[in-house]
Amino acid sequence: MPVITNIEDLKRIYRRRVPKMFYDYAESGSWTEQTFRENTSDFDQIRLRQRVAVDMTGRSTATQMVGQDVAMPVALAPVGLLGMQHADGEIHSARAAEKFGIPFTLSTMSICSIEDVAERTSKPFWFQLYTMTDEDYVRRLLQRAKDAGCSALVITLDLQIIGQRHKDLKNGLSAPPKPTLKNWIDLSTRWMWGINMLQTPRRQFGNIVGHAEGVDDPSSLFEWTAKQFDPALDWKKVAKLIEMWDGTTILKGILDEEDARRAAEVGANAIVVSNHGGRQLDGALSSIRMLPRIMDAVGDKIEVHLDSGIRSGQDVLKSIALGAKGTYIGRAFVYGLGAMGEAGVTHALRVIQKELDTSMALCGRRRVDELDRDVLLVPEGFEGRWQQP
Ligand SMILES: Cc1cc2nc3c(=O)[nH]c(=O)nc-3n(C[C@H](O)[C@H](O)[C@H](O)COP(=O)(O)O)c2cc1C
C-alpha cells in the first residue's frame, strides 16, 4: 500500500479501482470545464504570509458551523451516487465523517437511503434537498429526514436544470451500470469494486425508488428525475421550504451578491458560495474569486460557507481567511471513498486537517477564528474587474 500524503495520491488509486463511468462522473465539469478548472487554479493564485517567532503551542482546528461543533471547518458536500463509487458509499462516508467530528451531507440522489444511513450511524447528519415538482414527495422526503434526526437541511438552488457534462452522455451513465460489452470490459479490471457491489442490496436511488409515485424500477429513474427537478423554483418556494423544515437551513449554490442578499432575507441560517464544483454554469467565476464580494454584501447578515475546488488544507485556510465560516469538500473525499471506502475518506480528512493545522502554524495562527485576510497575499485584481455591461 503506498503512503498517502496528499489528495492526489488518493485520486490515483481511485482512478484504478472505480469503473470509468463513475470516475468520469466525478472528474468532470460542464461543457468546456473552464469553471471546473478555475475552481482549483484560482486557489493557487492566492499565497500565504510566512510569519515566524510566534508561539504555536496549543493549536486547534476546531470551530463551529451553523452552531454545531466541528473538528475542522470542513463538511462532506452532498454528492449523488456515492454508493456507485464504492458499495454502500454513503454509509462509509457518513461513518468516516462522524468519527472525525465533521458533518456529512446526504444527497437526495444517494444510493443508500436516509433510513439506511441513520440506522448505521449514531450522530445526526445533514440532508440535501433537490426541489422537485412533486410537492407531496418533497413533503414526505423532508419528514423522513426529520424522523431520521437530520440536524440541518441543505437546499440546492443551482440545479433546477442540469448542466451538460459530455462524458456522462457518452458513457451512458446509469446506476447500476447497464450490462453492455463496454461496461463488462471495464468492470473486468475493477473486480474488487464489483465484488463489493455484489455483496450489497443497495444499487438504486434509495431515497426515490419505492418512495416516489411511478418509480419502481431503475430504468424509469433518470427519466423521472429529468422531469421532476423543479424548473419553477423561486424565492417564494424557497421561503416555503424553509418554513416547512422548521430547523437549521443552508442555501447552497449562491454565486452572486444579489442572490446572496435574497438568501439572507429569506430566513436561512447559512449560504454556500458554490458553483456546484463547475458542473452547472460553465463560464461562471470560481467560488473563491466570488467570496470576497459576497462577504462584503452579506457577511454581517448570514453565515457564509464555500465549496468548489478545495483539494487541500491550504484551500480551506484561504477560504476561512477570506471570511467563510466553513467549507465543504466534494471530489476530495470521493477520491478517498472510491480508493478504499471509509478508510479512504478518513485519509482524505486527515490529509486536509494536517495541512490546515501546519499551514496555520506557519502563518503564525493557532486557531481557526484567528484566520483573517492578514495571513494572505492576494494578487491585485484577483477579485476581478469583471464588468457587468
Ligand atoms: C460526483 C458529484 C456529484 C454531486 N452531486 C451533488 C448532489 O447530489 N447534490 C448537490 O447539492 N451537489 C452535488 N454535487 C456538488 C457538490 O455538493 C459540491 O458542490 C462540489 O462537489 C464542490 O466542488 P469540489 O468537488 O471541487 O469540492 C456533486 C458533485 C460531484 C463531484
Q: The CATH number of the domain where 213 resides is what?
A: 3.20.20.70
Rg (CA), the chain: 20
Q: Is 276 a catalytic residue?
A: yes
Query: Is the separation of the CB atoms in 93 and 328 below 8 Å?
Result: no
Tell me, yes or no, whether 344 lies in a domain: yes
Query: Is the separation of the CB atoms in 231 and 203 below 8 Å?
Result: no
Q: Which ligand 1 atom is the nearest neighbour of the CA of 272?
A: 19
Tell me, yes or no, whether 19 lies in a domain: yes
Tell me, yes or no, whether 29 lies in a domain: yes
Give me the catalytic one of 86, 92, 276, 305.
276
Give 286's DSSP letter. Answer: P
Rounded to the nearest angstrom, the distance between the alpha carbon of 137 and the centre of ligand 1 is 22
**Top mutation candidate among 20, 74, 161, 279 for ligand 1, by most atoms within 8 Å of CB:** 279
Distances (CA, A) of 333 to 14, 16, 231, 329, 343: 11, 16, 30, 7, 11
Task: For strands 249-254 and 152-156, give the pairing.
Answer: parallel
Tell me, yes or no, whether 384 lies in a domain: no
Tell me, yes or no, whether 11 lies in a domain: yes
Q: Which range of residues forms the domain containing residue 370?
A: 7-377
Query: In sequence order, what are the beta bridge partners of 344?
Result: none
d(CA 29, CA 36): 5
Measured on CA atoms in the order 324, 328, 332, 333, is the torsion positive or negative?
positive
**Top mutation candidate among 11, 40, 79 for ligand 1, by most atoms within 8 Å of CB:** 79
Per-residue pLDDT of the chain (389 residues; tens, 9 = 90+): 789 999 999 999 999 999 999 999 999 999 999 999 999 999 999 999 999 999 999 999 999 999 999 999 999 999 999 999 999 999 999 999 999 999 999 999 999 999 999 999 999 999 999 999 999 999 999 999 999 999 999 999 999 988 989 999 899 888 888 888 988 888 888 999 999 999 999 998 999 988 888 777 666 666 777 788 899 999 999 999 999 999 999 999 999 999 999 999 999 999 999 999 999 999 999 999 999 999 999 999 999 999 999 999 999 999 999 999 999 999 999 999 999 999 999 999 999 999 999 999 999 999 999 999 999 999 998 987 777 77
Residue type, 345: V
**Ligand 1 contacts CB of residue 83 (under 6 A):** no
**Ligand 1 contacts CB of residue 73 (under 6 A):** no
Residue nearest to atom 1 of ligand 1 (CA): 26
Query: Is the separation of the CB atoms in 342 and 324 below 8 Å?
Result: no
Domain tally, the chain: 1
d(CA 185, CA 161): 33
Rounded to the nearest angstrom, the distance between the alpha carbon of 155 and the centre of ligand 1 is 13
What's the order of all strands across the beta sheet hosting 152-156? 74-76, 326-329, 303-306, 270-273, 249-254, 152-156, 126-130, 105-106
